[in-house]
Chains A and B, each alone.
Chain A
Amino acid sequence: MNSLLRRLRHELFATPGDAVLSVALLALLTLAMGGLLRWALVQANWAVIQANSTLFAVGRYPAEQQWRLWLLTSLLVGAAGLSWGLLRAHPRADRQGLLWPRNDRVAVGLLAGLAVWLPWALGLTGGIQARWWGLAALLIGLRWLAGRQGASWPPRLLKLVPLVWPLLYLTGMVLIGGGMGVAKVSPSEWGGLLLTLLSASFAILLCFPLGVLLALGRRSELPLLRWASVIYIEFIRGAPLITLLFLGQNIFGFLLPNGLAPERVWRAAWVLTFFAAAYLAEAVRSGLAAVPTGQVEAARSLGLSQARALQHVVLPQALRVALPAMVGQFISLLQDTTLLSLIGLLELLGVARTVMANPEFLGKNAEVYLTLAVLFWCCCAALGLGSRALERRLDPRTVPSR
């Protein structure tokens, strides 16, 4: 206790000037937080969120088909728990990672707390509350099991685990949209967080390889390839996304014969992909530029072909350097999905606008927007935390933790 006081004194009240500044800032913070809390706890009427929680989550996705989304969520949660545990069970070769580092204990506590509190606060029915508890239990249980047993799994099995994710993504597409014996749910019925995450993840996954190819094209020695990449990148970066989105809604209709043009949702997702790829290419290019030429020379002098040198020596280093910039791009891409509401799609912001237009919930804008902000913040924070963890794991310079 004494040391805490000393630290506070040292950090906040070191000089009279510091003290004045600290007191002023503390007063300001207390006022702002107090005002926000009083509004959130007393004045705000959260009924608008409680009544529309399903709409925010999945839009107009037919209720009798929602079991598919529950199944998909369970699969994702299971895969996440499994991967998380295995990552902890297999720390980097030069490190001695803990099985339950402090961050993980905090995360588990937070997730468990959220899984209990949020469904209750939203006033969900008992059955649905129980499902969320089950999901949290699945995540933590698999995390625990994989963390404990993962070290002794055969390497061949471990190599299969990363394949679970792309497989799950394709499965998810089928589960959400239907096909292959599952009833079809038209994309126009997808909405809310589901549509936001779907379009963002689709664009993120596809813009990544596209961006890498564009960056390589821009550095290529073939003039045609180089110029094509430059023109593409500069054209896309010179146009606002919203114009491209509107253009995309029309242009796919011109370019492709009737019936072949994708649904409006997919048109928007492709535009997002092409848009993000141009920006990502520049991030990757900065990473490529950061790899010294000596690396290529060393790889080539060992007999590696150009492609092999790129794959095993240049790209791993370039992408690690470009990682923070790329994740920044992904985060802004996630937020850019709100523009889909302007072309009439009911992603989170679109749903929010329809809810606020409902006479029943008139004047509840603050509650809705705050909820939206918190939801986006959670998604972006998850991306940011994941990227920082990945950076630490890939950083060859960090001193081994012993």
Chain B
Amino acid sequence: MTTTPAAAANTVVPANTVMIEAQGVQKWYPNGFHALRGCDLRVNRGEVVVIMGPSGSGKSTFIRTFNALEDFQKGRIVVDGIALSNDLRNIDAIRREVGMVFQQFNLFPHLTVLDNLTLAPVLVRKRAKAEVERQAMALLQRVGIAEQASKFPGQLSGGQQQRVAIARALCMEPRILLFDEPTSALDPEMVREVLDVMRNLAEDDITMVVVTHEVKFAEQVAHRVVLMAEGEVVEEAPPQVFFNTPSHERTRRFLDQIL
């Protein structure tokens, strides 16, 4: 796959509908640690936002509040027009629309690849199994592992597992996809196959929020890059600006360390 069309993707200005709106989000862990200290973020439909930052800066915690895997104590988050609250129906409604890809893949090891994909659409969306299976096979085709459909996750390589995980999230037809360091647990030679799939997705109109350390991916695919440090959003800028002329000292220090 060439990277040219993907690189062109971040010049397209997405339609201006807000998909995720986070305002002044604060979170304390039960042990008193102040993980998020008032984070703001707005993600528009079809936008690809990459969140970078040193480890422990709250990046993962922040995106995990978007589908209520983490709770928060102060602030406001609206996802696809639904305000996150303690109302369980709201949470379930949001989770149906927000897919998530984890660092450790978290595939269900007791189910075949195909069953991993079809489980949620059949149970949650109440769709017919045969129809979901057709869609799942098409998705597996798209991420390039259709021939592994009847294998179990443990029989696949890390890169293949992560591609299955992406296909599994897509099978629910989410409007938003969250990626929590999707390539950090992969052997170096498998990073590319996963990033290629993500590039390919970015060309669609799906909204993506990606926590990653992959600078090249951020440069080529992101519409905006966000730097988080010590639980705060420090800088938010288009990639060309972020990597070449950042406005904050903290961003410059971070870039010095990773580049």
Report A's interface with B, CB cutoff 8 A.
93-94, 292, 294-295, 297-305, 308, 312-313, 316-317, 320, 394, 396-397, 399-400
**How far does the alpha carbon of A305 sit from the alpha carbon of B92 in the complex, in Å?**
7
Q: For chain B, which range describes its interface: under 10, 10 to 19, 20 to 34, or 35 or more residues? A: 20 to 34
* Segment with Cβ contacts to A, from B21-29, B94-102, B235-243, B244-252: B94-102
- Residues in A with CB closer than 8 Å to B99 are 301-302
**How far does the alpha carbon of A316 sit from the alpha carbon of B154 in the complex, in Å?**
16
From A295, A300, A312, contact of B69 by CB (8 A): A300
- Residues in B with CB closer than 8 Å to A303 are 92, 95-96, 120, 124-125, 172
- Residues in A with CB closer than 8 Å to B95 are 300-303
Indicate if the CB atoms of B153 and A396 lie closer than 8 Å: yes
Indicate if the CB atoms of B152 and A301 lie closer than 8 Å: no
Indicate if the CB atoms of A317 and B124 lie closer than 8 Å: no
Indicate if the CB atoms of B110 and A316 lie closer than 8 Å: yes
Report B's interface with A, CB cutoff 8 A.
67, 69, 92, 95-96, 98-100, 102, 104, 106-110, 112, 119-120, 123-125, 150-155, 168-169, 172
**How far does the alpha carbon of A316 sit from the alpha carbon of B169 in the complex, in Å?**
21
- Residues in B with CB closer than 8 Å to A316 are 110
Indicate if the CB atoms of B102 and A94 lie closer than 8 Å: no
From A93, A298, A312, A317, contact of B112 by CB (8 A): A93
- Residues in B with CB closer than 8 Å to A394 are 110
What is the distance, in angstroms, from B100's C-beta to the closest C-beta of chain A?
A: 4
**How far does the alpha carbon of A303 sit from the alpha carbon of B95 in the complex, in Å?**
5
From A297, A304, A400, contact of B102 by CB (8 A): A297
* 7 closest residue pairs by CB, A with B: A298-B106, A302-B120, A396-B152, A294-B106, A301-B100, A303-B96, A303-B124
Indicate if the CB atoms of B102 and A396 lie closer than 8 Å: no
Indicate if the CB atoms of B154 and A312 lie closer than 8 Å: no
List 28 A-B pairs, Cβ < 8 Å. Answer: A93-B112, A94-B150, A292-B104, A292-B106, A294-B104, A295-B106, A297-B100, A297-B102, A299-B108, A299-B120, A301-B67, A301-B69, A301-B100, A302-B95, A303-B92, A303-B95, A303-B172, A304-B119, A304-B120, A304-B123, A317-B109, A396-B109, A396-B110, A397-B152, A397-B154, A397-B155, A399-B155, A400-B151
**How far does the alpha carbon of A317 sit from the alpha carbon of B107 in the complex, in Å?**
12
**How far does the alpha carbon of A375 sit from the alpha carbon of B154 in the complex, in Å?**
40
Query: Of all chain B residues, which has the CB nearest A93?
Result: B150
- Residues in A with CB closer than 8 Å to B155 are 94, 396-397, 399-400
